[in-house]
């Protein structure tokens, strides 16, 4: 698809599924229409890798933090070490943080990790990148309590909950799920989200859009996501990509 200026607001190029060809892939993404990527850490180690990728490639930026699935393994020393990294000029967000009640990870540990990182984001005046899986109520109540700026990544909730997030000033991140066969809910969100609050994302290597579903995802495939969202909104796909890139730059203070 011949679209350009794609900004992928959520990627994991540190993932082992990129080990074989990471350098070559990241070197050619700009020729495949990709203008920017935010690589999201999930642990101290992958946060460091995110920064290393951002140092290596101009168009890559880093989000750093402890993911809820990793919260049980994170130590105080990890949080201390992360704190040192936030002053790096290419660290643009606290993330990926949040709550995940799908996996059997103690809720108290997740809630404590999430809340301390929300407080930190406000202290640092950085936006947050939120992961919410089957934890909508607790996620929303902590966001209401701390009022950070940020994006709900891979948003999977209802249009009604989206309205609450919009009222908090949040952005809505949409990716490959809008192209899936059972995408009724994501598509209704895609149709309803105000154009100044939408961000595009991959969550790669996961969530590859149709016709690549199940394969390894990368930022260039956002073209298929944009085409699907633009069709449901009756808009031009390139204009949608351009608007979402501007939204991403505004939220994360890039450019």
CB-wise, 11 or 187, nearer to Ni ion?
11
Residue 147's CB is within 10 A of a number of other CB atoms, namely 12
CB-based contact 120:146 (threshold 8 Å): no
Burial 232-245 (b: 16+ CB within 10 A, else e): bbeeebbebbbbbb
Which of these ranges, 90-98, 162-170, 180-188, 193-201, lies near Ni ion under the rule CB under 5 A? Answer: 90-98
Q: Which pair of structure tokens corresponds to residue 236?
A: 């031009």
CB-wise, 96 or 132, nearer to Ni ion?
96
Q: Which pair of structure tokens corresponds to residue 7?
A: 């900004």
Which of these ranges, 20-28, 94-102, 158-166, 170-178, lies near Ni ion under the rule CB under 5 A? Answer: 94-102
CB-wise, 100 or 242, nearer to Ni ion?
100
Best CA proximity match to 8, nearest among 57, 76, 61, 55:
61
- Which residue number places its CB atom closest to Ni ion? 203
Binding mask 39-78 for Ni ion (x = CB under 5 A): ----------------------------------------
CB-wise, 199 or 237, nearer to Ni ion?
199
Q: How far is CA 200 from CA 10, 68, 104, 197, in A?
A: 8, 22, 29, 10
Burial 149-167 (b: 16+ CB within 10 A, else e): bbbbbbbbbeeebbeebbe
CA distance 88 to 101: 32
Which of these ranges, 56-64, 71-79, 137-145, 201-209, lies near Ni ion under the rule CB under 5 A? Answer: 201-209
Which of these ranges, 25-33, 111-119, 177-185, 197-205, lies near Ni ion under the rule CB under 5 A? Answer: 197-205
Which of these ranges, 27-35, 87-95, 158-166, 203-211, lies near Ni ion under the rule CB under 5 A? Answer: 203-211
CB-wise, 69 or 242, nearer to Ni ion?
69
Is residue 100 a contact point for Ni ion (CB under 5 A)? no
With CB under 5 A as the rule, give the number of residues binding Ni ion.
Answer: 2
CA distance 245 to 227: 15
Is residue 203 a contact point for Ni ion (CB under 5 A)? yes
Cβ at position 12, least distance to Ni ion in Å: 6
Cα angle vertex 230, ends 224, 231, to 5°? 90
Q: Which pair of structure tokens corresponds to residue 81?
A: 């070490």
Query: For binding to Ni ion (CB under 5 A), which residues are involved?
Result: 96, 203
């Amino acid at each position: 698809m011949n679209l350009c200026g794609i900004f992928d607001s959520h990627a994991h190029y540190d993932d082992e599924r990129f080990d074989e060809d990471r350098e070559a892939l990241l070197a050619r993404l700009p020729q495949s229409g990709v203008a920017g990527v935010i690589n999201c850490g999930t642990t101290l180690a992958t946060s460091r890798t995110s920064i290393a990728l951002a140092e290596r490639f101009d168009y890559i930026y880093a989000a750093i933090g402890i993911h809820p699935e990793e919260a049980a393994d994170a130590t105080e020393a990890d949080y201390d070490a992360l704190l040192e990294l936030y002053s790096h000029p290419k660290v643009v967000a606290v993330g990926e943080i949040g709550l995940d009640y799908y996996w059997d990870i103690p809720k108290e540990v997740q809630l404590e990790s999430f809340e301390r990182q929300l407080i930190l984001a406000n202290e640092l005046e950085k936006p947050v990148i939120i992961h919410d899986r089957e934890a909508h109520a607790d996620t929303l109540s902590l966001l209401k309590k701390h009022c950070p700026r940020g994006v709900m990544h891979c948003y999977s909730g209802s249009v009604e909950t989206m309205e609450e997030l919009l009222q908090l000033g949040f952005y809505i991140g949409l990716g490959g799920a809008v192209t899936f066969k059972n995408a009724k809910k994501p598509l209704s969100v895609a149709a309803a989200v105000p154009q100044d609050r939408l961000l595009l994302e991959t969550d790669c290597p996961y969530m590859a859009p149709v016709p690549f579903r199940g394969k390894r995802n990368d930022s260039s495939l956002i073209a298929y996501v944009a085409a699907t969202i633009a069709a449901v909104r009756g808009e031009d796909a390139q204009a949608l990509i351009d608007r979402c890139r501007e939204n991403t730059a505004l939220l994360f203070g890039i450019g």
